[in-house]
Amino acid sequence: MKLAMIGGGGFRSPLVYQALLRDRGAGRVDEVALIDVDGSRLRTMARILTDQAEGVADAPRVSAHTDAQEGLRGADFVFSAIRVGGMQGRATDERIGLSHGVIGQETVGFGGISYALRTLPVVTALAHLIRRVAPDAWVINFTNPAGVVTEAMGRVLGERVIGICDSPVGLARRALGALGLADEGDVEVEYAGLNHLGWLTALRVRGVDRLPELLAAPKQIESFEEGRLFGAEWVHALGALPNEYLHYFSYRRDVLQADQIAAHSRGRYLLGQQESFWREAAAASRPYAVWEHCRHERESTYMSTNRDVARMGERAENDLSSGGYEDVAIALMRAIAYDQSARLILNVRGGGALAGLDPDAVVEVPCIVGADGPRPIEGARVPSFGAGLVSTVKYVEQQTIEAALSASRTAALRALAHHPLIDSVRVAHALFDDACASFPDLAYLR
């Protein structure tokens, strides 16, 4: 089985490769094609993976390609994880947002829209290329903002593209941990919303929903990340566990205040960290060790601003290693390849799964996955207080797609001005002008 990784020169490739090295099952991936526009990172990444595979018998073969067509040929699965505009672009979005008093985070509000406007033309072209070169491949999209990127790629690839995120499964794992349970055996998670905008609404363990018990236990709630971010009383009032990214909505003023006094934004921090990482890794004889060190640093400072606001400190060590997005991706790949009917929370065309949304809209819900791909499971429901937010943000996402596909400045303005985190049409105009002036990738909208 061949896996092609678009953006394979990216920092998280060793996580995927690690999961592949662990997979001893018959019919597992035996060939990995790394594809990237940056030849130098690609070479370094290939060396990191070779180092990582040392001593592992039958490690999947790795090849590296700056020509996407060459790397895609014969692929059964394609992972797509790219960052148009690079980490510098992420930092620029944060700076522009902050300069206008709005959040510039990479997937939420202005930052998410700007990032999507840069990314959608590129992923659309990639989707056409995949359709031509590897028409039978399943495409697993990690590129953020994952919901809107998956929906845009789906306009070309139909249901062959599936979006994934680690935050719903991470939330479920932490909630189970707070109940003293591990995520094994008979657990069914109910979750509904859009990517980075959803709620865990039930946690059935051997058929019994344990969420009400958790919601009523303040100590347990505040023993894990999301519980601390929102506070036990508020989580109890909601009657559901919010995705951590909802913090930007619920605490927008507090996040902004913290951003204003922070020494650096997340993007700015990672920009510096990644620059030294690529330099050191390229020079090292054992580059995998350099990667491991850097990865630990990155994950333990995860969502630093949010964490500062909630005075949370570092993420728990046991939460760094288990069940990240690479495990969701591998589980999804195996479920399709071996028709396993696995239950996974994925970004897929809703087809009516969430009441009140366009059936073609991509939503994040539990799905059953077999050889024919994922099917949303009936019964997902967004809590009533969240329904308006979900439909507004979906409108924003669809205007963003419209802007990118038809080079429409008007649609881009509609997207920005209707986003709940952008509180003035004047500000939407100003943000748009600044983004167009800062990003050559947005020239198509000028």
The residue among 13 and 220 lying less far from ligand G6P, judged by its C-beta, is: 13
Long-range contacts of 226-235 (CB under 8 A, 24+ apart): 226/171, 226/174, 226/175, 227/178, 228/310, 228/312, 229/306, 229/309, 229/310, 229/312
Asked if residues 336 and 371 have their Cβ atoms less than 8 Å apart, the reply is: yes
How many residues belong to the site for ligand G6P (CB under 6 A)?
Answer: 8
Asked if residues 35 and 5 have their Cβ atoms less than 8 Å apart, the reply is: yes
Q: How far apart are the first and last CA of the chain?
A: 44
Residue 165 binds ligand G6P (CB under 6 A):
yes
The residue among 96 and 171 lying less far from ligand G6P, judged by its C-beta, is: 171
DSSP secondary structure code for residue 291 in this structure: H
Chosen from Mn ion, ligand G6P, none, partner binding at 18 (C-beta under 5 to 8 Å by type): none
How many residues belong to the site for Mn ion (CB under 5 A)?
Answer: 1
Polymer length in residues for the chain: 446
Give the number of C-alpha atoms closer than 13 A to the C-alpha of residue 404, restricted to the C-beta side: 25
Chosen from Mn ion, ligand G6P, none, partner binding at 266 (C-beta under 5 to 8 Å by type): ligand G6P
DSSP secondary structure code for residue 316 in this structure: P
Residue 329 binds ligand G6P (CB under 6 A):
no
Asked if residues 113 and 428 have their Cβ atoms less than 8 Å apart, the reply is: no
Pick one of 167, 201, 347, 391: the residue that binds ligand G6P (CB under 6 A): 167
In the bound complex, what is the minimum distance in angstroms from residue 180's beta carbon to ligand G6P? 25
Tell me which residue has tokens 């400190």.
313
The residue among 236 and 298 lying less far from ligand G6P, judged by its C-beta, is: 298
Read off the tokens for 75: 């692929």
In the bound complex, what is the minimum distance in angstroms from residue 403's beta carbon to Mn ion? 22
Q: Is 196 annotated as a binding residue?
A: yes
Residue 148 binds Mn ion (CB under 5 A):
no
The residue among 294 and 382 lying less far from ligand G6P, judged by its C-beta, is: 294
Tell me which residue has tokens 């090292």.
284
Q: Which positions from 270 through 329 interact with Mn ion, judged by CB under 5 A? A: none
Q: What's the CA gap between 387 and 401, in Å, rounded?
A: 21
Of 161-169, 351-359, 411-419, 429-437, which segment contacts ligand G6P by CB under 6 A?
Answer: 161-169
DSSP secondary structure code for residue 27 in this structure: T
Asked if residues 194 and 105 have their Cβ atoms less than 8 Å apart, the reply is: no
Q: Is 90 annotated as a binding residue?
A: yes
Asked if residues 168 and 200 have their Cβ atoms less than 8 Å apart, the reply is: yes
Of 93-101, 164-172, 336-344, 433-441, which segment contacts ligand G6P by CB under 6 A?
Answer: 164-172
Q: What's the CA gap between 36 and 34, in Å, rounded?
A: 7
Pick one of 65, 118, 174, 266: the residue that binds ligand G6P (CB under 6 A): 266
Cα separations in angstroms, 336 against 45, 187, 214, 345, 419: 27, 21, 34, 14, 36
Chosen from Mn ion, ligand G6P, none, partner binding at 295 (C-beta under 5 to 8 Å by type): none
In the bound complex, what is the minimum distance in angstroms from residue 145's beta carbon to Mn ion? 8
Question: Which positions from 126 to 145 touch ligand G6P by CB under 6 A, shown as an x/- string?
Answer: ------------------x-
Q: Which positions from 153 through 172 interact with Mn ion, judged by CB under 5 A? A: 165
In the bound complex, what is the minimum distance in angstroms from residue 248's beta carbon to ligand G6P? 13
Q: Is 144 annotated as a binding residue?
A: yes
Asked if residues 266 and 223 have their Cβ atoms less than 8 Å apart, the reply is: no
Q: Is 279 annotated as a binding residue?
A: no
In the bound complex, what is the minimum distance in angstroms from residue 12's beta carbon to ligand G6P? 8
In the bound complex, what is the minimum distance in angstroms from residue 269's beta carbon to ligand G6P? 9
Q: Which residues are annotated as a binding site?
A: 90, 144, 165, 196
Q: Residue numbers of the site for Mn ion (CB under 5 A)?
A: 165
Q: Residue numbers of the site for ligand G6P (CB under 6 A)?
A: 144, 165-167, 266, 270, 298, 302
